[in-house]
A = this chain, B = another copy of it.
C-alpha cells in the first residue's frame, strides 16, 4: 500500500484524500490543516491522521479540542509521497522540504510548470510521469481540454484549436470572490495563458485560448473549436468521444441543459459531494462543419483533477500502465455510466 500524505486539505486536497482512500493500492498517511475549522473536524471524522501546518497552530488545534499528530514535516516522514494541494505558489515553497526528506510529490495546476519534472494528464501523457519524483497535475481547465483533445488529435489530427473558457468566478465556499453582475475578459489580453498551459501536455499543438469570468460557481464552460486535419462525420466524432471513459457525452433525451442539472445528475447518482469527475460534452453541440469541430463542454473545477492525481501517483511509482491505472481509478470511484 502506497502511503500518501495530503498537504493542504482544502477543496482539492480533501477530494484527493477521499479518492486515494477509495483505491485498493494506496492509503492516506495523513492530511494537513492550517486551522481547526469545520474542515479539520471533517478530516477527523473521516478518520484521517491530522497534522497542523506549523508549531504555532498546534496550540490552536488543542485549544479547539482537536488532537493533531504533528506538523507537516511529521506527515511527510510518515508518507511515501505527498500530494501538495496548497494554494498556488505555496507548493513551490514546500518543494525543498519534500526534497530534504527524500519524498516525491504531486503538485497542482496553479504552480508554475517548472515546479515539477513534468506536467501530467492521465489520458494524454501518462508515461511522461513514470518514475518521476515531482509531477504537476495540470489545472482543471487544462485537464478538461487535454481529455477532449487527445482523442481528436489521435484520430483526426489537429490543425488548430481556438477555445473560449467561460470560467466560474469562485468555488461555492468562496463568498469573497466576485464578480456579482458582470462578465469579465480575464485576462483582457488575447490569447490567454491557458493555451501555453495546454502545451505543457501537447508541446506541438497550435492553440489560442480566450478567458472570461462570470458570476457562477458550479462549473466552467468551454466553447470549443478545433480545426481538424480531416473531415469526419459529426456522429462518428460523437461516438469517438462517447467511448472515452472520462468524457460524458450528455444525451439529448436526458433533458440536461445546464450546469445545475449536470450537478443534480451527479447528486442523484450518489456521487460523493455531487462531484462530476468527467468532462460533460453536450451531444447536441458536437458538430463538424467542413474541418471545424465545435462543442460545449462543462468542467467541474473542484473534481476533474481528482482522478488525475490518483493516476499520477501510479505513474510515479510504476504501479500500473495508463490503461490499467485509469480503469482501476474509475472502478474504485464508481466513475462509470
Contacts and interface: CB of A to CB of B under 8 A. Distances in A.
Q: Which of the listed residues A41, A223, A257 has the most CB atoms from chain B within 10 Å of its own CB?
A: A223
A91 interface: no
Interface string A253-267: 111111111011101
A175 B173 contact: no
A87 interface: no
Interface string A154-185: 00000010101010111011111111111111
Interface stretch (A143-151, A209-217, A235-243, A323-331): A209-217
A25 interface: no
Contact of A172 (B160, B218, B272, B282): B218
A169 B162 contact: no
A41 B264 CA distance: 12
A103 interface: no
B38 A223 contact: no
A329 to B, nearest CB: 20
Nearest to A219: B183
B254 A37 contact: yes
B210 A294 contact: yes
A272 B273 contact: no
A175 B269 CA distance: 21
Each complex incorporates copies of this chain amounting to 4
A208 B289 contact: yes
Contacts of A38: 254-256, 261, 264-265, 268
Interface stretch (A75-83, A187-195, A196-204, A307-315): A187-195
A287 interface: yes
A328 to B, nearest CB: 23
Nearest to A189: B284
Given A42-B265, A180-B216, A296 B208 contact: no
Interface string A205-231: 000101010111111110101000000
B191 A210 contact: no
A152 interface: no
30 contacts: A35-B255, A36-B253, A37-B256, A38-B256, A39-B264, A39-B268, A42-B268, A164-B166, A168-B183, A173-B261, A173-B264, A175-B261, A176-B178, A179-B180, A180-B180, A180-B215, A181-B181, A181-B216, A183-B214, A183-B219, A183-B220, A184-B259, A190-B284, A190-B285, A191-B287, A208-B292, A208-B294, A223-B223, A268-B273, A274-B274
Interface of A: 14, 35-39, 41-42, 45-46, 64, 160, 162, 164, 166, 168-170, 172-185, 188-191, 208, 210, 212, 214-221, 223, 225, 253-261, 263-265, 267-270, 272-274, 282, 284-287, 289, 292, 294-296, 298
